[in-house]
Amino acid sequence: MTVSPELTPAQRTEVELLARGRQEKSRTLRDLGLPETAESAHALLLRLGLWSEARTPYAERLQAATTPVDLPVPNFVPEPRLDLTHLEAYAIDDEGNRDPDDAVSVEPLSGGLTRLWVHVADVAALVPPGSALDLEARSRGATLYLPDQTIGMLPDALVEKAGLGLHPTSPALSVSLDLDEEGNAEAVDVQLTTVRVRRLTYSEAQARLEAGEGAFVALARLARASRTLREAEGALSIDLPEVRVKAGPDGVEVTPLPKPEMRTVVQECMTLAGWGAAIFGDDNELPLPFATQDYPTREVRGDTLSAQWARRKTLARTRFQPSPGPHHGMGLDLYVQVTSPMRRYLDLVVHQQLRAFLAGTEPMSGRELAAHMAQATLNADATRQAERLSRRHHTLRLIAAQPEREWPAVVVDRRGPQATMLIPELALDLPLSTPAAPGSQLRLRLGEVNLPALSVRARSV
């Protein structure tokens, strides 16, 4: 029988520092004959009841910022802007979204053209390069979305000032594309604007599309045409289960993410905005953090879950560079991320560069831009990894609370005797020794959840 030790306050602090990734050694663990690892420290704290199962240390271990930004936010300064308040603009997002930073409008033109407007919160007007807010955002790289909390890249006060649809009118940086019926762009432009935005959930927008409302029908038509063009250029379509994980001290909720057509419509509009901004930057010889991606390593056909899984594995990592290059996974000759400057630092940098050009001031050089990109990308990678690990942790909490439940799963990959199983309901993958071929459907019983190791034992039933 193993007797759990009692820790003095000093010993507890030492063990917690190791579990949080704040130090590499622990005399206490060594004296107890335990491995001096963050996982071992985590397990001990759980066993002694000093940490609850709701505690997730991954953001701290990865040195992602875990405290809100507490810096003053300036007010918008009056400046010339194109007045677009006569257009209906819609910020469409998930229910409960708290940082609305993009919206869409359509405007019919002569000659069978339609002008797609993508309006983005003019964050760069409040966060110029080199400011305290800019340096803080760069050090974080991105907003941290955890199942139990959201830690912004920028202060909540900035979101309140700049968020689209939070006031009767909003300052924006707007990208316009004049598109024909086939989705070809006849012209692109970027302007500082004033917009009037109405906020909608995806389900509300979907209902308006199904009711045949003109703006939503036009948006869907443009999105379908654009998607068809990109697929003809090699864009990959990957459709794997997605879930929303919400957690608290008393439990976890994992909800499959609904995928109405309006979700893909909005995504396509944001893609078009990134393409249009990239064209505008390239035409004006403006250094931007262009997103590039090499050709997929191989072609995968089919629409099954195992095919979707295999297709995703063929994608190379997206790279960012100050000069244009193709993004083969998206089927685009050049592309930047421009629609989330409140949530992603590189989007903010795009805005800063575009703003400098529009104002006739000196933008950052390619060399300076590259340095900012390198720092921000490293920090954003840590943020995204912390999110993935935290989601898995809380998903395993949900599994541990239902030890008798059977979960439908699909074999999506295999290497020798070991298969990779995907539980669509949880968007969770895990290993299993089984002779079943890819595409096979099994029912799994999950047990022996090990939170510190983020593992669970599966067996087919």
CATH number at residue 430: 2.40.50.140
Regarding whether 347 and 201 lie in a shared domain, the answer is: yes
70 is a domain residue: no
List the 418-423 sheet strands across, edge first.
428-433, 418-423, 406-415, 441-450, 455-460
Write phi, then psi, for 25 (nearest 5 degrees).
-125, 160
3-state secondary structure of 139: helix
99 is a domain residue: yes
Q: How far apart are CA 307 and CA 284, in angstroms?
A: 41
Q: How far apart are CA 122 and CA 174, in angstroms?
A: 9
Find the mean pLDDT for residues 68-97: 95
98 pLDDT band (50/70/90 cuts)?
Answer: confident
Q: 289's torsion region: left (phi>0), alpha (psi -120 to 50) or beta?
A: beta
Indicate the helix (H) or strand (E) that contains 11: helix 9-19
Find the mean pLDDT for residues 361-387: 94
Regarding whether 86 and 184 lie in a shared domain, the answer is: yes
Q: Which domain holds residue 436?
A: 402-460
Shortest CA distance to 242 belongs to which of 457, 27, 391, 45?
A: 391
Residue type, 242: E
Regarding whether 138 and 26 lie in a shared domain, the answer is: no
Q: Which of 345, 362, 394 is a domain's end point? A: 394
Q: How far apart are CA 214 and CA 191, in angstroms?
A: 25
- Say what the pLDDT of residue 6 is: 87
Q: How far apart are CA 104 and CA 219, in angstroms?
A: 9
Provide, for the chain, the percentages of residues in helix, strand and coil under a 3-state DSSP scheme, each rounded to the nearest 5. 35, 25, 40
Label the pairing between strands 185-195 and 428-433: unpaired
Lowest mean pLDDT among 44-48, 51-55, 98-102: 98-102
Q: How far apart are CA 337 and CA 95, in angstroms?
A: 23
- Say what the pLDDT of residue 1 is: 33
77 is a domain residue: no
Token pair, residue 7, equals 């820790």
CB neighbour burial string for 161-176, b if at least 16 within 10 angstroms, e if fewer: bbbbbbeebbbbbbbb
Token pair, residue 169, equals 């009118």
Give yes or no for residue 68 having a pLDDT over 70. yes
What are the residue ranges of helices labelled H in 143-253? 156-162, 202-210, 214-232
Count of structural domains, the chain = 3
- Say what the pLDDT of residue 4 is: 64
76 is a domain residue: no
47 is a domain residue: yes
Q: Which residues contact 195 (CB under 8 A, 6 or more apart)?
A: 84, 85, 87, 89, 103, 105, 119, 164, 169, 170, 172, 174
Q: How far apart are CA 177 and CA 190, in angstroms?
A: 9
Shortest CA distance to 234 belongs to which of 123, 326, 365, 124?
A: 326
Give yes or no for residue 3 having a pLDDT over 70. no
Regarding whether 425 and 381 lie in a shared domain, the answer is: no
Half-sphere exposure of 155 (CA within 13 A, CB side): 15
- Say what the pLDDT of residue 305 is: 95
Provide the β-strand partners of residue 431.
420
75 is a domain residue: no
Percentage, residues of the chain above pLDDT 90: 94
Q: Which of 19, 39, 65 is a domain's end point? A: 65
Q: How far apart are CA 200 and CA 35, in angstroms?
A: 51
Give yes or no for residue 369 having a pLDDT over 60. yes
Give yes or no for residue 249 having a pLDDT over 90. no
Percentage, residues of the chain above pLDDT 70: 99
CATH code of the domain containing 37: 1.10.10.10
15 is a domain residue: yes
3-state secondary structure of 91: strand
Q: 338's torsion region: left (phi>0), alpha (psi -120 to 50) or beta?
A: alpha
**CA torsion through residues 44, 47, 50, 56, sign:** positive
Regarding whether 365 and 279 lie in a shared domain, the answer is: yes
Find the mean pLDDT for residues 422-429: 97
- Say what the pLDDT of residue 97 is: 80
Whether the Cβ atoms of residue 142 and residue 344 lie closer than 8 Å to each other: yes
Q: How far apart are CA 176 and CA 114, in angstroms?
A: 10
Regarding whether 238 and 143 lie in a shared domain, the answer is: yes
- Say what the pLDDT of residue 195 is: 98
Regarding whether 409 and 439 lie in a shared domain, the answer is: yes
Q: How far apart are CA 48 and CA 27, in angstroms?
A: 17
Whether the Cβ atoms of residue 299 and residue 343 lie closer than 8 Å to each other: no
Regarding whether 373 and 255 lie in a shared domain, the answer is: yes
Regarding whether 314 and 186 lie in a shared domain, the answer is: yes
Q: Which of 371, 394, 417 is a domain's end point? A: 394
Regarding whether 284 and 141 lie in a shared domain, the answer is: yes
Give yes or no for residue 230 having a pLDDT over 90. yes
Average pLDDT, the chain: 95
Whether the Cβ atoms of residue 171 and residue 215 lie closer than 8 Å to each other: no
Regarding whether 357 and 416 lie in a shared domain, the answer is: no
Regarding whether 456 and 372 lie in a shared domain, the answer is: no
Give yes or no for residue 2 having a pLDDT over 60. no
311 pLDDT band (50/70/90 cuts)?
Answer: very high
